[in-house]
Structure 1
Amino acid sequence: MNKHAPNSPEARDIAYHLHSYTNAELHQEVGPTVIERGAGIHVWDNTGKRYVEALSGLWSVGVGFGEERLVKAATEQMQKLPYYQTFAHRSHGPAIDLAEKLVSIAPVPMSKAYFTNSGSEANDTVVKFLWYRSNALGKPEKKKIISRFRGYHGVTVASASLTGLPYNHRSFDLPINGILHTTCPHYWKEGRDGESEEEFASRCAADLDAMIQAEGPDTVAAFIGEPVMGAGGVVVPPKGYWQKIQAVLAKYDILLVADEVICGFGRTGNLWGSQTFDIKPDILVTSKQITSSYFPLSAVLLNERAYAPIQDESGRIGTLGHGVTGAGHPVGAAVALENIAIIEERGLVANAARQGEPLRAGLKALADEFELVGEMRGIGLIAALEMDPGRAKDEMAVGALGTAMNVALMRHGVIARNLGDTIAFCPPLIIDDEGVAEIIAGVEKALKDVSAAHG
């Protein structure tokens, strides 16, 4: 039985709504937190309680909540052309403008932009494009894709297979064949005693090289990775990692796919995570902050090396037999264009770099103060505290300490997200000194509560 009043929003949610990433059985008892409105970096629930949204919704509300310029852009486009499709030589102004904009601001030269509705759809499309391209090149055996353990690339059948997290595979009969996973570049967890960061990065590259050789270089189409791992725990790669990985891929003529769904549009202190780590992708995937999640939209950018065989094959067959109804939606494209304009005009990429420093410094000070914290990590305006259950006074299952922290943070008015025992922070790009201080104060209170109970 649930504790909520009959016909309340909570009770009706329990009755009718199946939630993502939620224990459906437990939800019948506890129900939801119902968020009613948002402004800037804050949201309010239906009891009137205010929270600082320290995860930007889902890593995504870059310009904050209640941005009137995005509401206006959506309204005006809805009135002019509320929908049109992009199949069979059809197009419209917002899709054309956004494709041009994305290609012009890409971190490396790109040829084309292809639109979908979510990061999952985009990465699923990438898998199909890679297979299509290999067939176009007369290399039907070159279909395998290498991802990484703890990488996150979505939840559709193919993109969830790319994802390297157990809960995205268990009971779903995933991953599908042809998707492989190599070493997670988390030095704190995966590094060996006496091994430097540089040595660990070299070992990661050697592991990738060995996997490619074992599978056969002619069978591997691509390697996919987030510049900074997001949902896998905010894993910042060790020094030299991406240079060493790219050297291995170049040796075997394997394409590089940069999943910028979280990192893109300023999160790492540059417009793209690829710029932060000197990554030169053949394919780049973006979503989330492209519209600040005011409208579902994602894009796949392809360089000429990736794109040209796809064009050739569509000519041979007669069509590129792929597409979704909402691809390049005019309202979403209009919102994206205005959102990008706001990011540029207000210097939000620079603000992310600037405000990331006190956020990470404050979290590091707390990590040093509280014994239950094992590591603080981050870059730009994305960070994490990893709780260490081995330091708790009572035996705790993996993830229990992180859940306790998440509950305590909510109690003190901070919405973050626990990924197992890792607490992730990814506030809106608009955050100021006061907002950072509010997050740090809430985290300190939560750590005191959890330390009193379990330290």
Structure 2
Amino acid sequence: MSALPNSIQARDVRYLLHPVTNARRHEETGPIVIESGDGIYVTDSDGRQYIEAMAGLWSVGVGFGEKRLADAAHRQMLKLPFYHSFSSKSNEPAILLAEKLVEISHERLQRVFFTNSGSEANDTVVKMIWYLNNARGKPQKKTFLSRLGAYHGITIASGSLTGLPTNHRDFDLPAIPVKHLTCPHYWRQGREGESEADFVDRLAQELEDVIAEAGADTIAAFIGEPLMGAGGVMPPPEGYWVRVQEICRRHDILIVADEVINGFGRLGTMFASDYYGIDPDVMVVSKQITSSYQPLAAILFSDEIYQGIADNTAKIGTFGHGFTASAHPVACAVGLENLAIIEENGLVANAKASGEVLQRELARFRSHPLVGEVRGVGLIAAVELVADKATKARFDPVGKAGAPLFGFGHEHGVIVRAIGDQIAFCPPMIIRPDEVVEMVARFERALTDTAAHLAA
């Protein structure tokens, strides 16, 4: 950090509290201030350029510096910079974006509600389903099923759905009725001698047992990321989602697909629900809906759910929920243009093609002494570092390898994400195969430095 008392880094330390950050350590190191971005690259205030291997925060699908999105925002700001969607008000970009989302998503998803973030969206899903079940005369049907290792946001409700200890500790979460099931990560959670099919059977039986114990009439919904992201990029085992859906349908439990990270092409299909054969009752999208150029999220849900909610608004007089910026016209205009870029530039197909290169290049590290597992689908992947390859033993403390690798990555011009000792990759969907090779080469240099650091 610059020693100048009035440097931008010093002013950051003086005024800002950062998310997912050790505040006392940040006071000592200060921030890396990102000043600009272009394509897959970002540049800091000292002029250093990095490949942004995380697309910012799993989100900048069309890359940085996309003029079409800036122009779309500018046009809408001049025309109508803001209007609310309360009390039967609307705006054209929100209407057109809702129509587009229904067009490209699953046939049963016919209705849309806009929020500003995935956290707000999942919080809203909880309230919507509670509201619906009260209207259905089933006030006891309130419990949500989630999974350990899941990430669904950080509000009180969505943070409760999240299955990560650091998002619960000292926040008094979970604070809503939620039951967390086993994380569907076969490599880490499978038992000795247990096949992948046996693992799926065990998780299916666990789901059946939890429903039987709680009573199906108390369980409202099962929420899950099709491919778990922020918990460490964990693709589910084959057949997992088929079993989950069959059990939930049989017990009148709604399926909520959290596609906040997965959606709009990341796995090489428009939605990860397409990839895994999920037919959700509710789907939540954010991040790549605008490539995070504007805050926006959307809840897509079935007409059956809508009709139940709508009937209750007629009965009690209103749907008493919403945000000042719900269906914000500038955000929706950017979202429309962003989806047009994804379609016109073939970014879903590019994610599939460049994703094959990413998975192939990372697979080379499976024999590395620090690497326990390499996993992923399309343009999302993780390399898990372990203290002992034979036993899969984790580092003690967690992060002993991941934290230095994160730092060495910056030295070699690549920004990855260290989730403990799991190194995540989620580059912009515009990335070319040759750029993937260069990104992984920079990671390899950081991995070499990490091995030397641990051996010292």
| TM-score (ref. length: structure 2) | 0.97
Q: How does 1:163-242 map to 2 (within 5 A)?
A: 163-242=162-241
Q: Deviations over 1:236-258 (max 9, x none)?
A: 00010000111110110100000
- Give the C-alpha shift of residue 323 in structure 1: 0.4
Asked if 2 retains the 8 angstrom alpha-carbon contact of 1:3 and 1:29, the reply is no
- Give the C-alpha shift of residue 306 in structure 1: 2.0
Gaps of 5+ in 1: none
Could you tell me which residue of structure 2 aligns to residue 70 of structure 1?
Answer: 69
Asked if 2 retains the 8 angstrom alpha-carbon contact of 1:3 and 1:30, the reply is no
- Distance in 2, matches of 1:339 and 1:90, equals 24
Asked if 1 retains the 8 angstrom alpha-carbon contact of 2:412 and 2:446, the reply is yes
- Give the secondary structure class of the aligned counterpart of 2:211: helix
Change (3 A) 1:395 1:275: closer
Could you tell me which residue of structure 1 aligns to residue 321 of structure 2?
Answer: 322
Q: Deviations over 1:328-357 (max 9, x none)?
A: 000000000000000000100000000011
Asked if 2 retains the 8 angstrom alpha-carbon contact of 1:402 and 1:422, the reply is yes
- Give the C-alpha shift of residue 197 in structure 1: 1.2
- Distance in 2, matches of 1:178 and 1:316, equals 27
- Give the C-alpha shift of residue 107 in structure 1: 2.5
Could you tell me which residue of structure 1 aligns to residue 270 of structure 2?
Answer: 271
- Give the C-alpha shift of residue 405 in structure 1: 1.2
Asked if 2 retains the 8 angstrom alpha-carbon contact of 1:256 and 1:282, the reply is yes
- Give the C-alpha shift of residue 205 in structure 1: 1.3
- Give the C-alpha shift of residue 431 in structure 1: 0.2
Could you tell me which residue of structure 2 aligns to residue 385 of structure 1?
Answer: 383
- Distance in 2, matches of 1:308 and 1:189, equals 42
Q: How does 1:116-155 map to 2 (within 5 A)?
A: 116-155=115-154
- Distance in 1, matches of 2:58 and 2:68, equals 20
- Distance in 2, matches of 1:394 and 1:201, equals 24
How many residue pairs are counted as aligned between the two chains?
Answer: 453
- Give the C-alpha shift of residue 389 in structure 1: 2.3
Could you tell me which residue of structure 2 aligns to residue 441 of structure 1?
Answer: 441
- Distance in 2, matches of 1:209 and 1:108, equals 28
Q: Which amino acid letter does the alignment assign opposite residue 95 of structure 1?
A: A
Q: Which amino acid letter does the alignment assign opposite residue 428 of structure 1?
A: P
Asked if 2 retains the 8 angstrom alpha-carbon contact of 1:394 and 1:454, the reply is no
Q: Which amino acid letter does the alignment assign opposite residue 344 of structure 1?
A: E
- Give the C-alpha shift of residue 312 in structure 1: 0.9
Q: Which stretch shows the higher mean deviation, 148-157 or 205-214?
A: 205-214
Q: Which amino acid letter does the alignment assign opposite residue 448 of structure 1?
A: T
Q: Percent identity?
A: 55
- Give the secondary structure class of the aligned counterpart of 1:351: helix
Q: How does 1:360-379 map to 2 (within 5 A)?
A: 360-368=359-367, 370-379=368-377
- Give the C-alpha shift of residue 394 in structure 1: 12
- Give the C-alpha shift of residue 201 in structure 1: 1.3
Could you tell me which residue of structure 2 aligns to residue 430 of structure 1?
Answer: 430
Q: Which stretch shows the higher mean deviation, 121-130 or 384-393?
A: 384-393
Q: Deviations over 1:411-436 (max 9, x none)?
A: 11110101111000000000002210
- Distance in 2, matches of 1:53 and 1:94, equals 30
Could you tell me which residue of structure 2 aligns to residue 351 of structure 1?
Answer: 350
- Give the secondary structure class of the aligned counterpart of 1:233: coil
Asked if 1 retains the 8 angstrom alpha-carbon contact of 2:395 and 2:401, the reply is no
- Distance in 2, matches of 1:15 and 1:112, equals 45
Q: Which amino acid letter does the alignment assign opposite residue 419 of structure 1?
A: I
- Distance in 1, matches of 2:222 and 2:305, equals 13
- Distance in 1, matches of 2:227 and 2:107, equals 18
- Give the secondary structure class of the aligned counterpart of 1:312: helix
- Give the secondary structure class of the aligned counterpart of 1:5: coil
Gaps of 5+ in 2: none
- Give the C-alpha shift of residue 177 in structure 1: 3.3
Q: Which amino acid letter does the alignment assign opposite residue 59 of structure 1?
A: W
- Give the secondary structure class of the aligned counterpart of 1:111: strand
- Distance in 2, matches of 1:224 and 1:423, equals 25
Q: How does 1:36-75 map to 2 (within 5 A)?
A: 36-75=35-74
- Give the secondary structure class of the aligned counterpart of 2:62: coil
- Give the C-alpha shift of residue 176 in structure 1: 1.0
- Give the secondary structure class of the aligned counterpart of 1:146: strand
Q: Deviations over 1:299-327 (max 9, x none)?
A: 00110222221111111000000000000
- Distance in 1, matches of 2:106 and 2:317, equals 32
Asked if 1 retains the 8 angstrom alpha-carbon contact of 2:184 and 2:203, the reply is yes
Q: Which amino acid letter does the alignment assign opposite residue 372 of structure 2?
A: G
Q: Which amino acid letter does the alignment assign opposite residue 390 of structure 1?
A: D
- Give the C-alpha shift of residue 393 in structure 1: 12
Asked if 1:15 is matched to 2:22, the reply is no
Asked if 1 retains the 8 angstrom alpha-carbon contact of 2:2 and 2:9, the reply is no
Q: Which amino acid letter does the alignment assign opposite residue 124 of structure 1?
A: D
Q: Which amino acid letter does the alignment assign opposite residue 149 of structure 1?
A: L
Could you tell me which residue of structure 2 aligns to residue 108 of structure 1?
Answer: 107
Q: Which amino acid letter does the alignment assign opposite residue 377 of structure 1?
A: R
- Distance in 1, matches of 2:293 and 2:235, equals 27
- Distance in 2, matches of 1:142 and 1:291, equals 34
Q: Which amino acid letter does the alignment assign opposite residue 134 of structure 1?
A: N
Asked if 1:158 is matched to 2:128, the reply is no
Asked if 2 retains the 8 angstrom alpha-carbon contact of 1:120 and 1:154, the reply is yes
Asked if 2 retains the 8 angstrom alpha-carbon contact of 1:285 and 1:301, the reply is yes
- Distance in 2, matches of 1:146 and 1:108, equals 24
Q: Could you say what the CA RMSD is over the residues aligned between the two structures, in angstroms?
A: 1.4
Could you tell me which residue of structure 1 aligns to residue 409 of structure 2?
Answer: 409
Asked if 1 retains the 8 angstrom alpha-carbon contact of 2:386 and 2:395, the reply is no
Asked if 2 retains the 8 angstrom alpha-carbon contact of 1:103 and 1:111, the reply is yes
Change (3 A) 1:216 1:77: same
- Give the C-alpha shift of residue 203 in structure 1: 1.1
- Distance in 1, matches of 2:394 and 2:342, equals 46
Asked if 2 retains the 8 angstrom alpha-carbon contact of 1:54 and 1:414, the reply is yes
Q: Deviations over 1:250-291 (max 9, x none)?
A: 110100000000000000110000000000000000000000
- Give the C-alpha shift of residue 3 in structure 1: 5.9
Could you tell me which residue of structure 2 aligns to residue 260 of structure 1?
Answer: 259
Asked if 1 retains the 8 angstrom alpha-carbon contact of 2:54 and 2:427, the reply is yes
Q: Which stretch shows the higher mean deviation, 284-293 or 172-181?
A: 172-181
| TM-score (ref. length: structure 1) | 0.98
